[in-house]
A and B are shown apart, each in its own frame.
Chain A
Amino acid sequence: MVVAFIQRAVVQGIPLLFGSTGEILTEKSGNLNLGTAGVMYVGGICGVIGGFFYEQNAAHMNSFLAVLIPLLCSIIGSAIMGYIYALLTVTLKANQNVTGLALTTFGVGFGNFFGGSLIKLSGLDVPSITLSKTSLCFKTSLPFADKLGVVGDILFSYSFLAYVAIIIAVVVSLYFNKTRSGLKLRAVGENPATADAAGVNVERYKYVSIILGSIIAGFGGLYYVMDYACGVWSNDGFGDRGWLAIALVIFAIWRPNISIFGSILFGGLFIIHNYIPGLGMGTQELFKMAPYAVTIIVLVIISMLQKREFQPPASLGLSYFREER
């Protein structure tokens, strides 16, 4: 029971981890991308589209290609979303909140539209989008996992994307704190004018971090469809996880390494109502509030503490225009 709970919590948490790592990378450059929810939808549906056509057209499924094609499609889709956001907010200096919300509207609409109409548009005669074969390739777990008992179940039973999520989070965390380029990126997010004066190419840093952040967030959508949902796309199935990922950014106080544990905690809070016996349907709904309530508490505490290292990047949400100092 406990093992199953932890496993489920991790599986729930991984999309949030991808989303929050991507969002942290974006926010560290001073851009609050509220479009993450939309980006994750697009990352998911593009992977589905790629997988769908490969599964329909390939006579013989090659498991390497079955993973590679959706992965590439997902990367392209999320990168385009990131590019749209970067173009509007960095080059055209548009309001970040409005752009982000528009991106979410667009992305969720894109996901649901192609999810609902892909079969009709492609003209293929299949009842529903079910990529069970592709999903199986994604779900390949380590061969020795089931031989290690409980330890194997808790640590090694997940599919490769789950480990990719953790590796990315660790790498991004090291990048922020141990590399020169990470220092420059943080400078851009804290005070772009100073970074600019020090010779940092502010626009390039913002573009790269937004687009990379979107790609990472898009993997969250891909993981959700291919692993959690077993390759079955259902409209709005992804739900509010994109917003939960943004909540996780605050919970992790802008640190991807904390976000690894935070994501599992959030995943657990997300499903805990299934594991507490004797809850009515209504009370279950109240329990689903937990991740958001915890986030608000963290947000209030960090603002009361006034500690510098706990604050959001200082220029978060503001456009940078060189001649306006």
Chain B
Amino acid sequence: MKNKEKVSEPLFHIVKRGNLPTTKSWLIRIVSIVAALIVCGIVTVLVTGENPFEVYGTMISGAVGTERKIWSTAQNTAILLCISLAVTPAFKMKFWNIGAEGQVLMGALASATCMIFLGDKIPNWALILVMVVASIIAGAIWGFIPAFFKANWNTNETLFTLMMNYIAIQIVSYFVFEWSVPAGSGHIGIINPTSNAGWFPTIFGQKYFCNVAIVIVLTVIMYIYLKYSKHGYELSVVGGSENTAKYIGINVKKVVIRTMILSGALCGIAGLLMVAGTDHTVTRDTAGGRGFTAIMVSWLAKFNPIYMILTALLIVFLQKGAGEISMIFGLNESFADILTGIIIFFIIGSEFFINYKLKFREKTKEVKD
């Protein structure tokens, strides 16, 4: 591979590993995360000039320092996890749905629309029911469109879903201007601030309790769906090899469209949680890049919904922690994105050492094991 000029055998070559034991592969991942944290620490010290342990201490207190912060972290994790769950079945099918951002926005817009127009006309339980249905349908439609073209004409889904995001953003912007309160301000503002119609109820004194509980249930359902249901089996066969799927009599078109409708519908639910459970409003930034972050969360967890709880928590923890650092040291809040980027680079890189090993020329010996 390298050392092209030497005609003799190259210094090392890469071979694919068989299945590495789970403990070993997780050891490699943990080592990579620790290495990433060290690099992040060095970067932070270079930028802030503070003691790295103090900086990490600040991060921890920023993420879980008070009860309010714990709930805020939990709620952010829940939303990110919900979107990650949504994109997972599509990814297992090797359908690169990077349109979660748009699907979430459409779900959010649908539930906000119900809140605005049905707010004081029907009882609250009926309103929430209508919102659930509307947001699921809106998200599902946004997922169905690219899937339909992919299934029938093999249209590139990565690029199609990417473009659908911006269509959704502009549609939301349009309605935000049309319905802005006060008119012309460009903000919808908090919807139903006095009647609280369409808001998720406060349970055990926690307004985010509903969100967290719903996402936990969804996580378990998704785990069972992927692992034990016929649908879950079919979509992983399609992801493994489309030809095999056809050969054993799976209707690939149907599976692609069905899975994307599911994916879009779950994104729609995430939009609902954002509007009914968190923000009580909708803006073009409601999804806030989570649709993209979710892809990394899902991939880092190897598409396993249970591991996803950890990876989503890791990302949210970093963002909250780095947010605290930037506030205390007077830096820009985008610092979190730099740290997130570095950590993901390391984890992505570590996958290589899990899937492949280097064989050296003289004696076969393994490195980075």
> Is B108 part of the binding interface, using a Cβ–Cβ cutoff of 8 Å?
no
Cross-chain contact A101 with B296 (CB below 8 angstroms): yes
A143 interface hit (Cβ, 8 Å)? no
Known contacts A289-B171, A304-B153; is-contact A281 B177 (Cβ 8 Å): yes
Name which of A107-115, A125-133, A159-167, A214-222 contacts chain B.
A107-115
Shortest distance in angstroms between B165's beta carbon and chain A's nearest beta carbon?
A: 8
The answer on a CB contact under 8 Å between A282 and B345 is no
- Complex contact B338–A296 (CB within 8 A): no
**Given known A-B contacts A97-B98, A115-B332, A300-B149, A289 and B170 have beta carbons under 8 A apart:** yes
Number of interface residues of A (CB under 8 A): 62
User: Which A residues touch B203, using CB under 8 A?
Assistant: none
A116 touches B166 (CB 8 A): no
Q: Which stretch of A48-56, A66-74, A243-251 is in the interface?
A: A243-251
Q: B327-369, CB under 8 A of A: which get 1 and which 0?
A: 0001111111110111011001101100110000000000000
B345 A84 Cβ-Cβ under 8 A? yes
Q: Is the CB of B332 within 8 A of A117?
A: yes
Do A102 and B344 touch across chains, with their CB atoms under 8 A apart?
yes
Q: Chain B 162-173 against A: per-residue CB contact (8 Å), 1 yes, 0 no? A: 111111001101
Chain B residues near A281 (CB-CB < 8 A): 177, 184, 186
Q: Which residues of A contact B171 (CB under 8 A)?
A: 286, 289
Is B11 an interface residue, CB under 8 A from the partner? no
- Complex alpha-carbon distance, A283 and B173, angstroms: 9
> Contact check: which of A84, A98, A115, A247 meets B295 at CB < 8 Å?
A98
Q: Is there an interface contact between A95 and B334, defined as CB atoms closer than 8 Å?
A: no
The verdict on A106 contacting B332 (CB below 8 Å), with A95-B348, A247-B163 known, is: no
Assuming the contacts A105-B293, A109-B340, A299-B163, asked whether A88 and B355 have C-beta atoms less than 8 A apart, the reply is no
A87, A99, A306, A312 pick with most chain B CB within 10 angstroms? A99
- The 8 Å CB contact of A92, one of B16, B170, B330, B352, is B352
A92 to B175, CA, bound (A): 45
Interchain CB contact under 8 A, A282 and B332: no
B51 within 8 A of A: no
A87 to B14, CA, bound (A): 15
Interface segment, one of A169-177, A256-264, A317-325:
A317-325
Interface: B1 (CB within 8 A): yes
- Nearest-Cβ distance from residue A171 to partner chain B, whole angstroms: 25
Chain A, range 98-153, C-beta contacts under 8 Å to B: 98-99, 101-113, 115-117, 120-121
CB within 8 A of A243: which of B166, B337, B348, B349? Answer: B166
- Chain B nearest CB from A299 CB (Å) reads 6
Interface status of B47 (Cβ within 8 A of chain A) = yes
Is B71 positioned at the interface, with any CB of A under 8 Å from its CB?
no
Residues of B within 8 A of A101 (CB): 98, 292, 295-296
* Residues of chain B with a CB closer than 8 A to A115's CB: 332
Report yes or no: B332 in contact with A303, Cβ–Cβ below 8 A. no
- The residue that B16 contacts in the complex, of A103, A246, A282, A324, with Cβ under 8 A, is A324
Q: Which residues of B contact A93 (CB under 8 A)?
A: 352, 355-356
- Residues of A within 8 Å of B330, CB to CB, are 120
Q: CB-defined interface of A60-84 with B at 8 Å, one 1/0 digit per residue?
A: 0000000000000000000000001
Q: Which residues of A contact B355 (CB under 8 A)?
A: 93
With CB as the reference atom, state the residue of chain A lying closest to B153: A303
Indicate whether B202 reaches chain A with its CB closer than 8 angstroms.
Answer: no
Interface string of A293-304 (1 = CB under 8 A from B): 101100110011
**Within the assembled complex, what's the spacing in Å between the Cα atoms of A286 and B171?**
6
A109 / chain B contacts, CB cutoff of 8 Å: 334-338, 340-341
Contact pattern, A 17-37, Cβ under 8 Å of B = 1, otherwise 0: 000000000000000101000
A292 sits at the interface (CB 8 A): yes
Q: Is B248 an interface residue (CB 8 A)?
A: no
In the bound complex, what is the Cα–Cα distance between A240 and B166 (angstroms)? 9
Min Cβ gap B346→A in Å is 10
One of A99, A203, A250 near B1 (C-beta < 8 A)? A203
Which are the 4 A-B pairs with shortest beta-carbon distances?
A109-B337, A106-B341, A116-B332, A282-B177
Identify 12 residue pairs between A and B in the complex whose beta-carbon atoms are under 8 Å apart, listed by A's number: A94-B351, A98-B295, A99-B348, A101-B295, A102-B296, A109-B336, A111-B334, A282-B178, A285-B174, A292-B170, A317-B96, A321-B14
Residue positions of B touching A, CB distance < 8 A: 1, 4, 14-16, 47, 96, 98, 149, 153-156, 158-160, 162-167, 170-171, 173-178, 184, 186, 289, 292-293, 295-296, 299, 330-338, 340-342, 344-345, 348-349, 351-352, 355-356
Knowing that A243-B165, A286-B170 touch, tell me 5 more A-B residue pairs with CB under 8 angstroms: A247-B159, A282-B173, A285-B170, A292-B170, A299-B159
